[in-house]
Amino acid sequence: MESGRKSDTKSDNKPGNVAHVPPQLSDLHCFTETEGVITTTMFDIPGYRIVRVLGVVYGLTVRSRNWAAGLGMVLKSIAGGELRWFTSMLYNGRNDAISRVVAETKQRGGNAVVCLRFDSGNLEGFAQLCGYGTACVVEKIEGSDAVATQL
């Protein structure tokens, strides 16, 4: 790359940059209020120490498809492209699953979930989503300047 020339990439990879979210999904963009509970897919949280493991927590939801929307989506799938109604349904289900993981973590006295994962499946025309992870109690390490970005 020549000096002084801007990069051709669409993302500068700077802290604070977020992924582009289509306007029709903006209210569903992978955000669920966690009420101060830190959630991460990592095995640890930088700047924090796990002081107690509380066990596996789950959040399950099963979503039904509206038959009219399902028929419309079948027709749309013939032409190709994103099936936005199903995308919205999956975002909503994912957010519900995270909310349930957080609620179970808080009920056990935890303030963090590590190794958060998602699984999904099809149950006779119903969409099943599961969020799961390890609930734990964490404390900030003295002198660490790391901040959990969702807090």
Q: What is the pLDDT along the chain (151 residues), one digit of tens a residue?
A: 444 434 444 444 444 444 455 555 444 445 567 888 999 999 999 889 999 999 999 999 988 766 666 666 677 677 777 777 777 888 888 889 999 999 999 999 999 999 999 998 887 778 889 999 999 999 998 887 776 665 5
d(CA 51, CA 59): 23
Looking at domain 43-139, what is its CATH homologous superfamily?
Hypothetical protein apc22750. Chain B (3.30.110.70)
For residue 117, what pLDDT is reported? Answer: 95
For residue 139, what pLDDT is reported? Answer: 93
Sorted by where each begins, the domain ranges of the chain are 43-139
For residue 6, what pLDDT is reported? Answer: 41
